[in-house]
């Protein structure tokens, strides 16, 4: 006898639970981070305890190298890190999606035309992200420079992903039929192309967010962040005293890792749900 096939509901339940867990985790980090200064129990610059003090009542994550409350500094840095990351993600995904769609449309008519859009972006993609960050921040310091650097590092990769997803869709029979009917490209993109690449766009948003978060925190780690105390700055300040106060180092690292992993898991879960057609 052949073994019975697993019911679709058995696979759907873990995915739904994973989706809820990711949404709750990301929502909690975003809400807490964006409202952090209002939730901080102390001023991020006030010295409330001894340097490298262990966690205890009144300073639940301990003190840093100057005796400032680690929890308050972590919460106070939230808006700067998250808003910069979200802005960089939005710019990179928008530019990358438009460039990827444009190159695919041009290449559908004449393959060589796609290179007009993609080759300059491929050249930019060869630049290491951290080097792009340093070069752009030299000319444009501050939050705007970090957003530009993250966008320059991410948009070419986003364009390549969207181009690769769109080109096969344009060769499908129903799209070819719509083109033969004389449908305009805006209509084709809205009704025929974008619904079929929506999962790719969703997955790409997750990747761009993680890369932007990496660059924003890297800027803080290098001492060129958007504010005087973002999560990358907290990491580099905690390194010398990691053996005395490991919580001050682990707290921002775990927060960054939790947000990055949760976003990637959410993107992956949504992609799988779309692929198997679950509601």
Write down the CATH number for the domain with range 59-276.
1.10.3720.10
Q: For position 13, what pLDDT does the model report?
A: 62
Report DSSP letters for 11-34, one per residue. HHHHHHHHHHHHHHHHHHHHHHHH
pTM (predicted TM-score):
0.87
Q: Is 8 exposed, middle or buried (0-12, 13-18, 19+ CB in 10 A)?
A: exposed
The ranges assigned to domains in the chain are: 59-276
What pLDDT is attached to residue 274? 55
Q: Which pLDDT value is given to residue 71?
A: 95
H-run or E-run covering 239: none
> How many CB atoms are closer than 10 A to CB 206?
20
Q: What are the 10-residue block averages of pLDDT along the chain, 279 residues in total?
A: 50 72 90 92 92 91 94 93 95 94 85 84 89 90 91 93 91 85 84 88 92 93 80 93 94 94 84 54
């Amino acid at each position: 006898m052949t073994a019975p096939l697993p019911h679709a509901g058995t696979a759907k339940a873990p995915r739904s639970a994973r989706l809820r867990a990711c949404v709750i985790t990301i929502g909690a980090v975003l809400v807490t981070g964006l409202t952090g200064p209002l939730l901080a129990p102390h001023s991020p610059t006030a010295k409330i305890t001894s340097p490298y003090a262990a966690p205890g009542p009144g300073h639940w994550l301990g003190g840093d190298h100057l005796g400032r409350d680690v929890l308050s500094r972590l919460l106070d840095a939230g808006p700067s890190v998250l808003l910069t990351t979200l802005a960089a993600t939005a710019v990179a995904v928008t530019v990358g999606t438009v460039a990827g769609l444009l190159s695919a449309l041009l290449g559908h008519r004449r393959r060589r035309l796609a290179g007009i859009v993609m080759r300059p972006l491929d050249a930019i993609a060869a630049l290491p992200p951290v080097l792009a960050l340093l070069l752009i921040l030299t000319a444009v310091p501050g939050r705007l420079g970090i957003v530009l650097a993250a966008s320059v590092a991410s948009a070419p990769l986003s364009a390549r992903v969207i181009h690769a997803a769109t080109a096969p869709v344009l060769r499908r029979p129903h799209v070819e039929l719509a083109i033969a009917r004389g449908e305009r490209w805006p209509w084709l993109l809205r009704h025929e192309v974008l619904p079929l690449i929506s999962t790719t766009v969703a997955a790409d948003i997750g990747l761009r967010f993680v890369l932007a978060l990496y660059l924003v925190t890297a800027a803080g780690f290098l001492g060129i962040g958007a504010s005087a105390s973002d999560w990358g700055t907290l990491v580099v300040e905690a390194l010398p005293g990691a053996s005395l106060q490991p919580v001050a180092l682990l707290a921002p690292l775990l927060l960054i890792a939790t947000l990055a992993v949760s976003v990637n898991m959410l993107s992956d879960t949504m992609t799988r749900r779309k692929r198997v057609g679950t509601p």
